[in-house]
């Protein structure tokens, strides 16, 4: 079983240093990271304010959501919408419900289809302490990981360049507060692969290391 250590070291050397170098070489790379306060979620969807990013994130992008909110009641939710830059009212929606059930859903609003829920899990849909990851490219579509596994793979949403976001969490203005403390951290990274090898995006690194982990697990079972 000693071969496991070299494999892990090889994977680390192959991916993590290269990722840092390629990020520095690609002038198109854009990054943003900020916290969304708990109180911002205590509004219904009709009152949600659309807030623009400093830059438009297009062609290849990744959004990480880390939920550190304290929910006010079991029915409370935290919803994040990411809006397209080119088509009005086109968006991707991520919803995370309160503890203990932790429901999780993904929806898209598209010009032809309208509002469509593409994933809905009523219990244990997201993991506290784990990041929800949305990864998009023009060629591969949208892939979403709920912090435990991939729940949406290569969804065709046509071209999706995100320019803004909004948050909400209450069904009606008379409902009790959805959240009472904490924050949700939003991180976005994007770039143009043609201006440098951006194949070292974090989600690609995670995928590669995931293959190593699977290999090790299979080897363990065989032994």
Whole-angstrom distance, CA of residue 199 vs CA of residue 14: 12
Looking at the structure, do residues 51 and 18 belong to the same domain, yes or no? no
Looking at the structure, do residues 166 and 217 belong to the same domain, yes or no? no
The pTM (predicted TM-score) of the whole model is 0.78
Whole-angstrom distance, CA of residue 104 vs CA of residue 101: 9
Looking at the structure, do residues 112 and 43 belong to the same domain, yes or no? yes
Looking at the structure, do residues 51 and 80 belong to the same domain, yes or no? yes
Instruction: Give the pLDDT band of residue 74 (cuts 50, 70, 90).
Output: confident
**If DSSP codes are grouped into helix, strand and coil, which group holds residue 51?**
strand
**Residues belonging to the chain:** 223
Domain hosting 149: range is 29-195
Q: What are the pLDDT digits (tens) for 172-222?
A: 888 999 999 999 999 999 988 777 654 445 545 444 444 444 444 444 445
Looking at the structure, do residues 88 and 9 belong to the same domain, yes or no? no
What is the per-residue pLDDT for 29? 86
Residue 82 vs residues 64, 93, 163: alpha-carbon distances, Å: 12, 7, 8
DSSP at 197: -
What is the per-residue pLDDT for 218? 45
**If DSSP codes are grouped into helix, strand and coil, which group holds residue 135?**
strand
Q: What are the pLDDT digits (tens) for 111-144?
A: 989 999 999 999 999 999 999 999 999 999 999 9
Averaged pLDDT, 156-173: 95
Q: Which long-range contacts (CB under 8 A, 24 or more apart) does 116-119 make?
A: 118/152, 118/155, 119/144, 119/151, 119/152
Looking at the structure, do residues 216 and 114 belong to the same domain, yes or no? no
Count how many domains the chain has.
2
Looking at the structure, do residues 2 and 79 belong to the same domain, yes or no? no
**If DSSP codes are grouped into helix, strand and coil, which group holds residue 89?**
coil
Q: What are the pLDDT digits (tens) for 97-111?
A: 998 899 999 999 999
Tell me, what CATH number does 189's domain have?
Answer: 2.60.120.200
């Amino acid at each position: 079983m000693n071969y496991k250590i070299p494999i892990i070291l090889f994977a680390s050397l192959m991916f993590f240093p290269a990722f840092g170098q390629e990020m520095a070489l690609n002038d198109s790379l854009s990054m943003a990271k900020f916290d969304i306060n708990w109180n911002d979620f205590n509004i219904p969807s009709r009152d949600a304010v659309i807030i623009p990013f400093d830059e438009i994130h297009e062609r290849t992008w990744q959004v990480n959501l880390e939920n550190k909110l304290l929910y006010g009641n079991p029915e409370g939710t935290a919803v994040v919408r990411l809006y397209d830059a080119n088509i009005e009212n086109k968006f991707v929606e991520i919803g995370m419900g309160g503890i203990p059930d932790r429901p999780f859903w993904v929806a898209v609003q598209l010009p032809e289809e309208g509002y469509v829920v593409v994933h809905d899990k009523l219990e244990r849909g997201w993991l506290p302490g784990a990041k929800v990851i949305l990864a998009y490219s023009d060629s591969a579509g949208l892939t979403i990981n709920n912090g435990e596994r991939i729940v949406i793979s290569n969804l065709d949403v046509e071209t999706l360049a995100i320019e803004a976001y909004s948050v909400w969490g209450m069904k009606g203005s008379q409902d009790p507060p959805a959240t009472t403390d904490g924050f949700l951290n939003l991180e976005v990274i994007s770039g143009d692969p043609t201006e440098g090898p951006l194949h070292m995006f974090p989600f690609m690194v995670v995928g590669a290391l995931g293959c190593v982990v699977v290999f090790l697990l299979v080897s363990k079972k065989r032994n």
